[in-house]
C-alpha cells in the first residue's frame, strides 16, 4: 500500500463527461411524424422528426414562380438593351442624314435666291432701258404728228405736193407704231420684273423654310444624341433585372432549404435523450426538443478533481487507470490530456471571497481531463454522468513529453 500510494495519485472525485448535442429545428411547424424516442440509438443523418412540409412547399412553389418571372424579365431587359442600342444608333444616323439634307437644301435655296435676284436685277435694268427710249419716241411721234398736221394744211392750199403730205403721214404712222410697240415692250418688261420679283420672294420663302427645316433637323440631332443615354439606362435596368434574378434564386434556395429542414435529422450518432415533443405539437425554430449523446471515444472523457497537494505530482501525458462504478468488472486505460485553467470554486455561481474576516482555509480541487487511450479499452456502457475512480501513474513515461501543466 505504501509503494502503491508512493507511485500513484488517486481520487474518487471523478465523473464521466461527454459532448451532449441538443437538437432543434431550423424552422417552425407542426410535428406530423416522430422517428425517435428516448434511449434509441441513432446514426448520423437518421430522421428524428418530421414537420408539416405543406406551407414550406408552397413557399418553394412561390419562390420558383418568382424566379421564373425574374428570369423572363431579365431576358426581356437584355433584349431591350440590344433593341434600344440599335434603335438609338439608327435614330442618330437618320437625324444626322436629315440635317445634312436640310443643310444642302438651304445652300440650294440660297443659290436660287441669288440667281433670282440677279435675274430680277437684269429685268429691272431692261425695263429701265426700255423706259428710257419712251421719251425720245414720244418726241419723234409728236414731231411726226405735227409735221403731218402742217403738211395736211399745206396740201389743202396746194403749197406742198400730195406726195410730201403722204410721206409725212407715213412717217407719223410709223412713229406712232414704234411708240406703241415700245410702250408694249415697257408693259411686257414691267410684267417680267413683277414676275421675277415674285420668283425672288418665293425663293426667299423656300430659303427660310429650308432654314427652319435645318433648325428642326439640328434639334432632332440633339434629341437623338440625348437619346444615346437610353441604352445606358436600359443596361442599368438589365443589371437590376439580373440582380432581381439573383435575389429570386437566393429566395428559392432558402425556400428549398426550409423545406428540407422540415425533416430533422440526427447531427451525429448517439443515444436519444430528453425528448420533449409529441405528435401535433408546434415547434419553435431553434428550440431544442431532444438531445443526442454520442458515445464514441472522441466525445466521452473523464474529469478528475485532484486536490492542490496532489497536483504537484500530476503532469499532462501521464498514464491513467480509470474504474467506472457502473462497470465493476473491468478498468480502462487513459492518459492526462489537460488541466483546467482554474479550480471549481472560481467558476461557481458564487465564488469564494477570501478577503472576508471569517476566512477558513479550504483545500481546493483542480479539474483534470483524462482521455481514454483507445477504442480497444472502451465500452459503450461508459456514459456521461457516471462516477469513476482515477489512478495517475506518476512514475511512468509521459505520453506527450514536456510534462508541464
* Average model confidence (pLDDT) across the chain: 85
Structure confidence by residue, pLDDT tens digits, 293-304: 988 888 899 999
In this structure, the answer to whether residues 79 and 190 fall within a common structural domain is: yes
- Count CA within 13 A, CB hemisphere, residue 286: 0
In this structure, the answer to whether residues 78 and 183 fall within a common structural domain is: yes
In this structure, the answer to whether residues 121 and 154 fall within a common structural domain is: yes
Structural domain span for residue 201: 62-232
DSSP annotation of 303: E
Q: Under 8 Å CB-to-CB from 69, ≥6 apart: which residues?
A: 248
Region 177-191: mean pLDDT is: 82
In this structure, the answer to whether residues 270 and 194 fall within a common structural domain is: no
202 is a domain residue: yes
Region 150-159: mean pLDDT is: 73
Does residue 167 carry a pLDDT above 80?
no
Does residue 274 carry a pLDDT above 80?
yes
Q: What is the three-class DSSP state of 272?
A: strand
Structure confidence by residue, pLDDT tens digits, 87-131: 878 877 887 888 888 888 888 888 888 888 888 888 888 878 877
Does residue 403 carry a pLDDT above 70?
no
Q: What is the three-class DSSP state of 200?
A: helix
In this structure, the answer to whether residues 122 and 109 fall within a common structural domain is: yes
In this structure, the answer to whether residues 13 and 93 fall within a common structural domain is: no
Most confident of 1-15, 68-82, 204-218, 254-268: 254-268
**Count of domains forming the chain:** 3
**How far is the C-alpha of 304 from the C-alpha of 16, rounded, in Å?**
9
**How far is the C-alpha of 18 from the C-alpha of 298, rounded, in Å?**
9
- What's the pLDDT at 405? 58
- What's the pLDDT at 343? 83
In this structure, the answer to whether residues 276 and 301 fall within a common structural domain is: no
- 394 touches 319 (CB < 8 A): no
- What's the pLDDT at 377? 52
Does residue 4 carry a pLDDT above 70?
no
In this structure, the answer to whether residues 99 and 40 fall within a common structural domain is: no
- 373 touches 302 (CB < 8 A): no
Structure confidence by residue, pLDDT tens digits, 255-271: 999 999 999 999 999 99
Region 61-74: mean pLDDT is: 94
In this structure, the answer to whether residues 225 and 364 fall within a common structural domain is: no
**How far is the C-alpha of 250 from the C-alpha of 255, rounded, in Å?**
9
- What's the pLDDT at 221? 79
- Integer angstrom CA distances of residue 68 from 64, 74, 77, 107: 6, 10, 14, 58
Q: Which of residues 271, 293, 315 is at a domain's end? A: 293
- What's the pLDDT at 376? 57
Q: What is the three-class DSSP state of 176?
A: helix
- 372 touches 16 (CB < 8 A): no
CA angle 16, 19, 25 (to 5 degrees): 145
Does residue 6 carry a pLDDT above 70?
no
Q: What share of the chain is helix, strand, coil (3-state, %, to 5)?
A: 55, 20, 25
Structure confidence by residue, pLDDT tens digits, 318-345: 999 999 999 988 889 999 999 988 887 7
In this structure, the answer to whether residues 26 and 130 fall within a common structural domain is: no
In this structure, the answer to whether residues 162 and 95 fall within a common structural domain is: yes
Q: Which of 101, 375, 354, 294 is nearest to 216 (CA)?
A: 101
- What's the pLDDT at 245? 93
In this structure, the answer to whether residues 135 and 149 fall within a common structural domain is: yes
More confident position, 258 or 190: 258
Amino acid at each position: 500500500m505504501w509503494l502503491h500510494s508512493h507511485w500513484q495519485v488517486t481520487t474518487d472525485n471523478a465523473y464521466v463527461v461527454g459532448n451532449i448535442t441538443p437538437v432543434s429545428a431550423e424552422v417552425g411547424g407542426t410535428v406530423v411524424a416522430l422517428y425517435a424516442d428516448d434511449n434509441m440509438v441513432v446514426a448520423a443523418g437518421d430522421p428524428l422528426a418530421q414537420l408539416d412540409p405543406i406551407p414550406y412547399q408552397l413557399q418553394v412553389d412561390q419562390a420558383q414562380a418568382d424566379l421564373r418571372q425574374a428570369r423572363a424579365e431579365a431576358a426581356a431587359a437584355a433584349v431591350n438593351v440590344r433593341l434600344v442600342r440599335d434603335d438609338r444608333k439608327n435614330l442618330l444616323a437618320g437625324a444626322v442624314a436629315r440635317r445634312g439634307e436640310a443643310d444642302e437644301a438651304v445652300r440650294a435655296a440660297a443659290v436660287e435666291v441669288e440667281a433670282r435676284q440677279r435675274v430680277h436685277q437684269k429685268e429691272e435694268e431692261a425695263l429701265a432701258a426700255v423706259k428710257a427710249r419712251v421719251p425720245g419716241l414720244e418726241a419723234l411721234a409728236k414731231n411726226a404728228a405735227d409735221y403731218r398736221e402742217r403738211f395736211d394744211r399745206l396740201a389743202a392750199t396746194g403749197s406742198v405736193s400730195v406726195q410730201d403730205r403722204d410721206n409725212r403721214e407715213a412717217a407719223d404712222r410709223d412713229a406712232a407704231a414704234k411708240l406703241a410697240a415700245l410702250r408694249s415692250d415697257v408693259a411686257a418688261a414691267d410684267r417680267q420684273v413683277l414676275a421675277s420679283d415674285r420668283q425672288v420672294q418665293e425663293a426667299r420663302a423656300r430659303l427660310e423654310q429650308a432654314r427652319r427645316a435645318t433648325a428642326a433637323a439640328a434639334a432632332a440631332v440633339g434629341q437623338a444624341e440625348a437619346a444615346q443615354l437610353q441604352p445606358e439606362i436600359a443596361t442599368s435596368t438589365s443589371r437590376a433585372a439580373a440582380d432581381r434574378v439573383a435575389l429570386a434564386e437566393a429566395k428559392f434556395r432558402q425556400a428549398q432549404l426550409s423545406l428540407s429542414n422540415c425533416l430533422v435529422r440526427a447531427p451525429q450518432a448517439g443515444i436519444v435523450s430528453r425528448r420533449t415533443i409529441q405528435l401535433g405539437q408546434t415547434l419553435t425554430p431553434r428550440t431544442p426538443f431532444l438531445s443526442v449523446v454520442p458515445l464514441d471515444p472522441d466525445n466521452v472523457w473523464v474529469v478528475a478533481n485532484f486536490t492542490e497537494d496532489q497536483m504537484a505530482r500530476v503532469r499532462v501525458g501521464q498514464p491513467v487507470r480509470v474504474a467506472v462504478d457502473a462497470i465493476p468488472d473491468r478498468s480502462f486505460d487513459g492518459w492526462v490530456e489537460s488541466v483546467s485553467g482554474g479550480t471549481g470554486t472560481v467558476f461557481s455561481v458564487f465564488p469564494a471571497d477570501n478577503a472576508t474576516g471569517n476566512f477558513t482555509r479550504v483545500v481546493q480541487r483542480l479539474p483534470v481531463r483524462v482521455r481514454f487511450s483507445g477504442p480497444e479499452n472502451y465500452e459503450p456502457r461508459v456514459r456521461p454522468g457516471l462516477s469513476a475512480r482515477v489512478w495517475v501513474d506518476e512514475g511512468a513515461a509521459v505520453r506527450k513529453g514536456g510534462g508541464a501543466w
